[in-house]
Amino acid sequence: MHLSEFEKRIYNEYLKALRRGKPYNTKKNFDKIDDETFVCLKQLSQFFTSFAHIKIDAFFSAGFKDTEYQPLSFFKSMCAIKLYNVYMNDKLNKADDEWVLSFVKESLQFVYKFCKDNSISIDEYIDYESPSGVPWYAIHLKEFKVCIYLLLAFPMFENKLMQHSDEIELIMGKDFIQNFARHRTMFVTSNKCKKIARAGLDILKTQTKIKHKPN
């Protein structure tokens, strides 16, 4: 039975999460893996490939947040997906947490690439809509491709958000709009997050201007 390197990585991410921060041994020999685990890894590989925005390490960590053990098969369930969404939203409760700061930096890279691929400026990102009329940033928020704290660094973001509050609520749920003021406060009062997000956007805007500068 052959497993790809990606499928082996999935299993080792599971083992890492299972140890809940304790040391663990990376599995290297998969020659004697049982049939059930083999099939499960193939299914999870298809899942993570189809939903590439899901952070694999966080997905498994979410399943072990309130319990010491979950079988690998659990992570094929809708319950695992729900736990992941809750886990990711909970991680955003501390704007200056290292995980959040890393997410902001990843978001900057994502926004830069998205704008480049769609031939729009960085400032146009929060106005750019999908074919269905929904702002792309809302879809990216839902998929955890973009951090809310990066969006708050856009000067007009709150006004844009309120203009589309109904659509945003349908995508993100009522809790998002209700919790927006809390996220805004955490962003404004942060020591690191605010600086990284704003400085990062300024750098992206400068870079894109240089690249689009006429000869």
| pLDDT at residue 49 is higher than 60 | yes
| pLDDT at residue 150 is higher than 90 | yes
Tokens for 122? Answer: 């960085």
Return the minimum-mean-pLDDT range out of 42-56, 145-159, 174-188.
Answer: 174-188
Q: Which one has a higher pLDDT value, 128 or 21? A: 128
Which regions of 130-189 does DSSP assign to beta strands (E)? none
pTM summary value: 0.77
Query: Above pLDDT 70, what percent of the chain?
Result: 96
Please say whether the beta carbons of 186 and 104 come within 8 A. Answer: no
Rounded to whole angstroms, how far apart are CA atoms 193 and 154? 13
Tokens for 34? Answer: 């049982």
Residues in the chain: 215
Segment 40-67 shows an average pLDDT of: 89
Question: 127: helix, coil or strand?
Answer: helix
Rounded to whole angstroms, how far apart are CA atoms 67 and 20? 10
Rounded to whole angstroms, how far apart are CA atoms 46 and 10? 11
Give 85-123 pLDDT, tens digit per residue: 888 888 888 899 999 999 999 999 999 999 999 999 999
Q: Which one has a higher pLDDT value, 56 or 162? A: 56
| pLDDT at residue 215 is higher than 80 | no
